[in-house]
Amino acid sequence: MRELTENLPNQISEALDIASKSKLTPAKGIRNIVVSGLGGSGIGATIVSNWIFDSCKLPVTINKGYFLPNFVKKNTLVICSSYSGNTEETIHVLEQAHKIGAKVVCISSGGKMIDFCKANQLDYIQVPGGMPPRTCLGYSIVQLMEVLTFNKFIPNKLIKQLTKIPDFLKKEEASIQKLSSKLCDKIFDKMPIIYGDERFEGVVVRYRQQINENAKMLCWHHVIPEMNHNEMVGWRDENPNLAVLFINNALDFKRNVQRREINEEAIRKYTPNIYHINSKGRNLIEQSFYHIFFTDILSIYLAEKRGFESMEIDVINHLKSTLERTSF
């Protein structure tokens, strides 16, 4: 897992090469976009939706379940992302989208999804298989950005920014390793609570997911300013077993930075364990990938410190195998 995690810069380079060779057909007359996927295959869509919030020409809905929203019609682009190609929720959505006659593009390493695309002459981009989905975020993000760029739904400059990410991450890797190791020593026996600016919500979710799945730790997350309208009221009991991680960026909205400072002042009454993770980078994509690389590495350190195998996901495998023995 450590090797796969540290390979993210090279994976992005490979993903860009795959994207450049993809054979997509234009999506014509599209009025809205739905991206469907779960877990390690779905988090990329959440992160990308943050990146394109103020530049995409069409409304984008992120779907993480079995069913498509009612507005999906023939003029909808439905992008289905399942690394394994066998995620039953996403396969169910794919079948619905095809039946409706929506424009479909799939991103997968194989499985039922690619077979379905080939049988029904649907667009797809195939990525290398055989790895845990959570270690393949670079593949899914780049292909999703390629689909949106190819159809001119987002500006070309965004995918150009992606081409700078491999060198950027390699430059920052040693520093990230050092900082994440120090943070691991401080929070390995605590319950992390992750807070960040609304524009980085996907990144904040990634922190939680990686700590859950790799380090086998419960934690939760929220974003500013929404948390100021509910969660802050819940801070009433002293609890030294909680560790708050503020995910900070140069692009955070100034008003949210002010909110963060007020939040920290209030929270410090209830736990002394408050830490700031400050990203580097010149733009939203670089700052996001800084955090992605940071939390991926942090989660591996936490797993090792806690004595857990980061690759192991027995409870998820049990759930899937049990479901496979039953029908819808």
Closest CA to 283 of 195, 162, 196: 162
Mean per-residue pLDDT, 74-100: 97
Indicate if the pLDDT at residue 326 is higher than 90.
no
At 240 the pLDDT is 97
CATH of the domain at 156: 3.40.50.10490
For residues 244-249, average pLDDT:
98
Question: Which residues pair with residue 221 across a beta bridge?
Answer: 194
pLDDT at 316: 92
Give pLDDT, residue 64: 96
Q: Determine the Cα–Cα distance for residues 265 and 282; give it in Å rounded to an integer.
A: 29
The mean pLDDT of 235-242, rounded to a whole number, is 97
User: What is the tens place of the pLDDT at every residue in 106-159?
Assistant: 999 999 999 999 999 999 999 999 999 999 999 999 999 999 999 999 999 999
Q: How confident is the model at residue 324 (pLDDT cuts 50, 70, 90)?
A: confident
pLDDT of residue 314: 93
Q: With bands split at pLDDT 50, 70 and 90, how would you rate the model's confidence at 327?
A: confident
* Same-domain pairing of 149 and 182: no
Residues in Cβ contact with 281 at an 8 Å cutoff, skipping those fewer than 6 apart = 168, 249, 250, 287, 288, 289, 290
**Domain termination residue (choose one: 162, 193, 215):** 162
């150009």: which residue's tokens?
160
Same domain? 152 vs 170 = no
Q: Examine the domain organization and report whether 139 and 179 are in the same domain.
A: no
The residue among 322, 319, 294, 253 whose CA lies nearest residue 5 is: 294
Nearest to 172 by CA among 300, 282, 294, 302: 294
Confidence category of residue 88, pLDDT binned at 50, 70, 90: very high
Residues 179 and 115 reside in one and the same domain: no
Can you give the pLDDT at residue 298?
A: 98
Amino acid 294: pLDDT: 98
Q: How far apart are CA 194 and CA 265, in angstroms?
A: 16
- Report in angstroms the alpha-carbon separations of 65 from 68, 92, 103, 105, 208: 8, 9, 19, 17, 19
Alpha-carbon gap, residue 198 to 188, rounded angstroms: 26
Q: In which domain, by residue range, is 128 found?
A: 2-162
In tens, the pLDDT along 170-194 reads: 999 999 999 999 999 999 999 999 9
pTM of the model: 0.96
Is position 316 within any domain?
Answer: no
Compute the distance between CA of residue 327 and CA of residue 320 in angstroms, rounded to an integer.
Answer: 12
Which of 140, 162, 184 is the endpoint of a domain? 162
How many domains in the chain? Answer: 2
Mean pLDDT across the chain: 97
Asked if residue 279 and residue 130 are part of one domain, the reply reads no
pLDDT per residue as tens digits for the range 189-224: 999 999 999 999 999 999 999 999 999 999 999 999
**Is the torsion defined by CA of 83, 85, 91, 93 positive or negative?**
positive
- State how far the Cα of 154 lies from the Cα of 219, in Å rounded to an integer: 34
258-316: per-residue pLDDT in tens?
999 999 999 999 999 999 999 999 999 999 999 999 999 999 999 999 999 999 999 99
Please return the burial class of 109, using the count of CB atoms within 10 Å of its CB with bins 0-12, 13-18 and 19+.
buried
In this structure, are 143 and 194 located in the same domain? no
Please, which residues bridge with residue 248 across strands?
Answer: 278
Cβ atoms of 145 and 154 within 8 Å: the answer is yes
- Residue 96's nearest CA partner among 124, 118, 67, 61 is 67
Q: Is the peptide bond before 155 cis (omega within 30 degrees of 0)?
A: no
123/241 same-domain check: no
